[in-house]
C-alpha cells in the first residue's frame, strides 16, 4: 500500500492568528506536523498553502505546494494539489491537519490502511472513545456513530448516541456515555472521491452542523470509521491549547 500526505495550512485563524507558524519549542507548529507525518509510511509529505509566510517556515522548501487563495476548505486545497501533481483516481491521500503537532504517525498509517482495505469505501477516518460527560456534551467535540461494517452513519456536534434512560432530568443529568466516540479530524481519500466531494455544493446537513464530512455522507459516499490505534495528541485551536502543547513538547525536548 502506498499513500501520500497533504497538510493544508493557512495563515489566518479566527481564534488564534498565524496559528500555523506559532513557535513551539523552537520550531513553528507546521514543522512539527511535517516532521510527524514524515515518520509515517507516506510515500510523500506535502504542505498546501496560499500564504508565503507559511511557506517560508517549512523545511525543506520543496515540500510546499502553493495553491489558490480562493479555497473555502483544506479539502479543496488538497484537491488542487492532486490535480497539480497529476495523481490518479485510485491514489490514496491522507489529510493531516496543520494544527496537530503531537499527531502520532501510527494514526496516519492506520487511516490509509483502513481505506486501502475496502475498495468500496470513498473515505476513511478515525475516532477515539469519549471519556467524560463534559466531552460528550461539548459541541466542539464532534461525535460519530457507525454501522457494524464500520460505515459512518452520522457525525454530529450533538451528544450521540443518546441514552434515553440515562437522562431522567434533562441534558446534563445524563449518566451514560457508553459507546460514545469522538471523531478525530484525520481523513484518507481516494483521489476520485476527493474530486467528487469538492465538486459537490455544501449540503443541508453540512451547513446546519458546520461539518464538511456530512457533504460526503449526504451524497451517499461511504466513509469507513475505526477506533484509533494510538492516543491522539492535543489539537491547537485556542491560546490555552497552544500553552498545553508548548509545555508538553518543551518537556519532551529536555528529556
Residues 168, 171, 174: CA angle, nearest 5 degrees: 55
Q: What's the DSSP call for residue 24?
A: E
Please confirm whether the linkage preceding 60 is cis (ω < 30° from 0). Answer: yes
- CB of 123 closer than 8 Å to CB of 196: no
Which run of H or E residues covers position 76? helix 74-85
Read off the pLDDT band of 253 (50, 70, 90): low
**Residue 190: pLDDT over 80:** yes
Bridge partners of 151, per DSSP, are 224
Read off the pLDDT band of 255 (50, 70, 90): very low
pLDDT at 124: 98
Cα separation values, 82 from 5, 48, 223, 228, Å? 11, 11, 20, 26
Cell, residue 175: 449518566
Q: What's the DSSP call for residue 88?
A: -
Cell, residue 242: 497552544
Residues 209-244 have pLDDT tens digits of 999 999 999 999 999 999 999 988 888 888 888 899
**Residue 254: pLDDT over 70:** no
Residues 95-131 have pLDDT tens digits of 999 999 999 999 999 999 999 999 999 999 999 999 9
Residues 53-96 have pLDDT tens digits of 999 999 999 999 999 999 999 999 999 999 999 999 999 999 99
Positive or negative torsion for Cα 113, 118, 123, 128: negative
Q: Which residue has the cell 508565503?
A: 52
Domains and CATH numbers, the chain: 1-103+237-249 (3.90.550.10)
Burial class of residue 53 in the structure, from the number of CB atoms within 10 Å of its CB (0-12 exposed, 13-18 middle, 19+ buried): exposed
Q: Can you give the pTM of this predicted structure? A: 0.94
Amino acid at each position: 500500500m502506498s499513500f501520500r500526505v497533504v497538510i493544508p495550512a493557512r495563515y489566518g485563524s479566527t481564534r488564534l492568528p498565524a496559528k500555523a507558524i506559532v513557535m513551539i519549542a523552537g520550531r513553528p507548529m507546521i514543522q512539527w506536523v511535517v516532521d510527524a507525518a514524515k515518520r509515517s509510511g507516506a510515500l510523500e509529505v506535502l504542505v498546501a498553502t496560499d500564504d508565503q509566510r507559511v511557506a517560508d517556515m517549512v523545511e525543506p522548501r520543496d515540500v510546499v505546494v502553493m495553491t489558490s487563495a480562493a479555497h473555502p476548505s483544506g479539502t479543496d486545497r488538497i484537491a488542487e494539489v492532486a490535480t497539480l501533481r497529476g495523481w490518479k483516481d485510485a491514489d490514496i491521500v491522507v489529510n493531516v491537519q496543520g494544527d496537530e503537532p503531537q499527531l502520532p504517525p501510527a494514526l496516519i498509517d492506520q487511516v490509509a490502511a483502513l481505506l486501502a482495505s475496502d475498495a468500496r469505501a470513498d473515505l476513511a477516518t478515525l475516532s477515539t472513545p469519549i471519556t467524560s460527560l463534559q466531552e460528550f456534551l461539548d459541541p466542539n467535540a464532534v461525535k460519530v456513530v457507525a454501522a457494524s461494517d464500520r460505515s459512518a452513519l452520522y457525525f454530529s456536534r450533538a451528544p450521540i448516541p443518546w441514552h434515553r434512560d440515562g437522562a431522567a432530568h434533562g441534558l446534563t443529568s445524563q449518566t451514560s456515555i457508553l459507546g460514545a466516540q469522538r471523531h478525530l479530524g484525520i481523513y484518507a481519500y481516494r483521489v476520485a472521491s476527493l474530486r467528487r466531494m469538492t465538486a459537490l455544493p455544501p449540503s443541508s446537513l453540512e451547513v446546519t452542523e458546520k461539518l464538511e464530512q456530512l457533504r460526503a455522507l449526504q451524497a451517499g459516499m461511504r466513509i469507513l470509521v475505526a477506533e484509533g490505534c494510538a492516543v491522539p495528541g492535543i489539537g491547537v485551536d485556542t491560546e490555552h491549547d497552544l500553552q498545553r502543547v508548548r509545555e508538553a513538547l518543551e518537556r519532551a525536548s529536555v528529556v
